[in-house]
Amino acid sequence: MSDRTSKTFQRKSRYTKDRGIPGAFEGETVTRRAFMTGTAVAAGGIATAAFALPTLGFALGPIFERTEPSRWQDIGPEEDFNDTDYVPRVINIVPEIGEAGRTTIYVRRYNPRIDGEANSDQPYVAISNRCMHLGCPVRYVSASQRFICPCHGGVYDFQGKVFGGPPVRPLDRFYTRVRNGRVEVGDRFSLNSKLERFSPRDPSNHLDGLWQYLYPSRPTI
């Protein structure tokens, strides 16, 4: 009994010569059939990878490349703006697609009485109209001094902080500067609820508490 079991468990020799394969060489461990199979599979794999990997990279590339070059846009002379109410302006964020690449911003002068120390290096407050719930366009209602989103009822206060509804963080802003008495608008940045600056994120991405670690920044910014 034990004899038989030991026989079943005896493994075949790893040398082709010991296994009596015709034409086997001394010390050969890989049969020619196994070698040819391996070669064919490897060749097929290399050929597939040769077109699959470049096309995959081609499709995924935009994730890893910076698509918005820094550009400053003139939005008018300093006299057009005040520090108590917003003035709407239309800027191009993707100029090459025409109307679809434009967006509205709401601009006022930085006011230490309202804004305190947050973002005091910015001469102007340029608020993006992109709702931080799912990206619908908010509008500023000056009677109530609130930004209101038409889609799901997001409401933001005068500083763009969340006042009610589903949005997860304050409205994005754009960098501003003054050149020769004219106001210029640059890149977008995002804010958390304390109005601390972050690289631009998509709407619906949280930037507070532990939530912020679930929404990484873009690899390139």
Partner 1 sequence: MKAPTPPLPKFARPAPPRPNELVDDQGRPARPTIPDQARKAGVGVTSWVEERVGLSPFLRGFLFRKVPKGTNWFYTLGSATMFAFLSQAVTGVFLAMYYEPDPSRAYESASRITNEVFLGEFVRGMHRWGATVMIVLIFLHMGRTFFFGAYKYPRELNWIVGVVLLILTMAMGFTGYLLPFDQRSYWATVVGVNINASGPILGPYLADFLRAGAEFNASTLSRFYAIHMMLIPGLIAALIGVHLYLVAKLGTTAPPWVKAKKKELAKREL
Which CB, 87 or 134, lies closer to partner 1? 134
- Whether the Cβ atoms of residue 192 and residue 212 lie closer than 8 Å to each other: yes
Residue indicated by tokens 């050969």? 28
Residue 161, number of CB atoms within 10 A of its CB: 16
Stretch that binds partner 1, among 35-43, 132-140, 157-165, 178-186 (CB under 8 A): 132-140
- How many residues bind to partner 1 according to rule CB under 8 A? 30
Closest CB 138 distance from partner 1, rounded Å: 13
Residue indicated by tokens 């991405």? 205
What residues contact 135, with CB distance under 8 A and at least 6 apart? 202, 203, 204
Residue 23 found at the interface with partner 1 (CB under 8 A): no
Residues 79-98 that bind partner 1 (CB under 8 A): 93-94, 96-98
Residue 210 found at the interface with partner 1 (CB under 8 A): no
Residue 170 found at the interface with partner 1 (CB under 8 A): no
Residue 6 found at the interface with partner 1 (CB under 8 A): no
Closest CB 81 distance from partner 1, rounded Å: 25
User: DSSP state, 68?
Assistant: S
Q: What's at 24, amino acid-wise? A: A
Q: Is 104 exposed, middle or buried (CB count within 10 Å of its CB: 0-12, 13-18, 19+)?
A: middle
Q: Within 13 A of 200's CA, how many CA atoms are on the CB side?
A: 17
Residues 161 and 116: their CA atoms lie apart, in Å, by 14
Which CB, 20 or 216, lies closer to partner 1? 216
- Whether the Cβ atoms of residue 185 and residue 91 lie closer than 8 Å to each other: yes
Q: What's at 163, amino acid-wise? A: F
Position among 21, 118, 136, 195 found at the interface with partner 1 (CB under 8 A): 136
Residue 60 found at the interface with partner 1 (CB under 8 A): yes
Residue 151, number of CB atoms within 10 A of its CB: 14
Position among 22, 62, 112, 209 found at the interface with partner 1 (CB under 8 A): 62
Q: Which positions from 189 to 208 touch partner 1 by CB under 8 A, shown as an x/- string? A: -----------xxxxxx---
Residue 118 found at the interface with partner 1 (CB under 8 A): no
Closest CB 152 distance from partner 1, rounded Å: 9
Sites of contact with partner 1 (CB under 8 A): 59-60, 62-63, 65, 67-68, 93-94, 96-98, 100-101, 134-137, 151, 200-205, 214-216, 218, 221
